[in-house]
Structure 1
Amino acid sequence: MAPQSRPPSRMAPLGMLLGLLMAFCFTFCLSRQNQKEFALSNPEKSSTKETERTETKAEEEPDTEILEVFHPTHEWQALGPGQAVPAGSHVRLNLQTGAREVKLQYEDNFRNNLKGLKKGKRLDVNTNTYTSQDLKNALAKFKEGAEMESSKEDKARQAEVKRLFRPIEELKKDFDELNVVIETDMQIMVRLINKFNSSSSSLEEKIAALFDLEYYVHQMDNAQDLLSFGGLQVVINGLNSTEPLLKEYAAFVLGAAFSSNPRVQVEAVEGGALQKLLVVLATEHPLATKKKVLFALCSLLRHFPYAQQQFLKLGGLQVLRTLVQEKGTEVLAVRVVTLLYDLLTEKMFAEEEAELTQDMSPEKLQQYRQVHLLPGLREQGWCEITAHLLALPGHDAREKVLQTLGALLATCRDHYCQDPSLGRTLASLQAEYQALASLELQDGEDEGYFRDLLSSVESLLKELR
């Protein structure tokens, strides 16, 4: 008998339902685990991150509310939350404790800054930083600005100069329109020499020409230019004029041209200026003329040993001796004594300098050694003349004579010791200058003029005893 089929069991649907439920639970649990580990957005974690972001933002942004000002000292101190520090304070992070610490960097500067801070006020802190490139750019802009400013100042200065001064071309053009001619010093001197040398010029015009010429020849270059066109010889020849005024002003020009100008001095000696000057001094002329001629002679002789040799050969000491012995020539006598003193000391200093430094040329030193001034003064009786000149009135004249007596002391000692009038004069001067020096001391002058004169007198007296 064929087997009969079993009816379906009631447990089958229940098993299937149970399997589906277990699969659903497994899938649900796996989904929950993935959400915990790999979800891009978690409500709880999102809320936590949002809170941290808010706190970080709150730390980074300066609080607009009132901050408590922390007053740092020299020691490191922990900085509490909500506290602000003065600008320039030294702040660090303690890696061990995690706390921020602060102290003063420079006490004096920040003490002044602290005075300006009051508790309860907001403190602005500049947290901007600069890179090296920023500093280079700023420096370049600074230099560029300085150059622009300097350029502006230069342009402004040039504009001011152009406003105050005009180019020479424009001035010449204006002068040409006004028929005015611009002359150089050389052209002016040529014109003045021509006027002086012209036979058609009056005496007043010639004197005016010499007076103006003296102004120009004070300059060394102009005096040398006077040689280039023969103007110096024309003035030297003016010493031969029969008009005393022309001789006076010609000597005036020569004295200015000779002064400290060796080239002109050489040309003058070769042109016969020394002989002509001595002739005027030795002949009858007004005192004013002899003053100017003596001035020219002194300018020619000083620092020019060759001219000094020629002066002695031409009998210059005799001419000067006659000049100082004339009546009414006391002013000339003082100038002559001063000239002799200058010539004596000049030779002495030249020889001493040559021995010490060896800088002087052998030729010039030899010329000085050929100037036998001291023997000539003794032979011409200048020991007696200078001793008598000490009786001149006036402290300046006495000072010059005392200096010359001291310079002649080695040569004239015997004569001075045998001259009783010189001893009496020196004693009288000693008493006079002692009284005047005492007055200077009372006025608080320890080293006065009369004290120096007294020292010179006493020094001579001591040498002559």
Structure 2
Amino acid sequence: MQLMTSCAAGAALLLLLHCCQIASIVGHESALTVVKNPDGREGGGADEETEVAVDEEDLEVVQPTEDWQTLKPGQAVPAGSHVRLNLQTGQREVRIGKEQLKYWTQEHRETEEIQSTISPDDLKWAMKKMKEELNPVRKETDRQLTVQHIHDSVASKYRPLDELKRDLAQLDLLVETDVQIMKRLLDQFNSSNSTTEQRLSILLELEYLVHQVLFAVAALLRNFPYSQRHFLSHGGLQVLSELFKADGGGVLRTRIVTMLYDMISEKELISQAGLDLVLDASHEERVHQYSQVSLQGELLEKGWCSLVPQLLESTEHDYREKALRALLAMAPMCLDQYRLDSSLLGSLLSLRDQYQEMVQSEMIVGEENGYFAEIVELIHALQFKMK
């Protein structure tokens, strides 16, 4: 107990001596002064002494380092420096603050990085690039050279068609386009030396080639009234009627009838849309363009009112459906001819009975509004118009 009391008394005495020493230092006439850094920054650390305002004239400002150094009387330190009192020596000590150290280290590192990454060659290249960028004539010349280089590179990989034809001709190979092939086949077909078997073979080849060209014609005509007008003015429907008559299988007939139905329907839809909607400039222009397409008159003149019903003779349900839809679309212009066509009347009665039986079969399996019921509705609609 006595030992503990002695230790406590010694510690209290030591603390008292330290406090007296601090008081004597603070009260000294050369008190610690904090000045601004040369770059204008201010800062402080957790270990800084309390700032005391004194006259800063003729003060010696100490620049701190990373190591603790002793401060002499009358010396000042930059703001942000760390100052401590060494209790063993009674001297004030200072070192650079954390914020100052961070700033110095970062600035030093960035300077070193810049110096290490930029070489004299890099500077020369950058100056040369700047001069080139500021020269528009040089830039345009470089662009033209680049384009020419690309063109020459592409051209070197491909050969002109005429050159290929010459080379193939030397190899006894003949390159023909589809149009050239069709012309050649037609010449062979019309030749008096052709046998029946040869003509049948020619027709099969022509069917395949024409089959591809109908797709192309349909793509050019749909929703393009300007193209439709030129197609009609150059006898396009006459050509289609000849192809329709020559087609025995029905595939080509169906595609032709479908294309005609689409052309009639889109013109009708454009006309009807203007009745309910506020017309804008583009819609008025489309209505004007379609008004110049005399499709109905051409269909009537070229005999399509009697050609389309022939497609009903097919055994394919899809072909019959396409024919019925086209007949309904053509009814406003062909109704008088429909009523005089006994073959059409007979076909409609026969088809109605046939498809009504199929509808009954659909209903048995639970399909009340099936595909065959739709065909029956088309037949009924056409018969109603013909009454």
* Superposition TM-score, scaled by structure 1 size: 0.41
Larger Rg: 1
TM-score (norm 2): 0.49
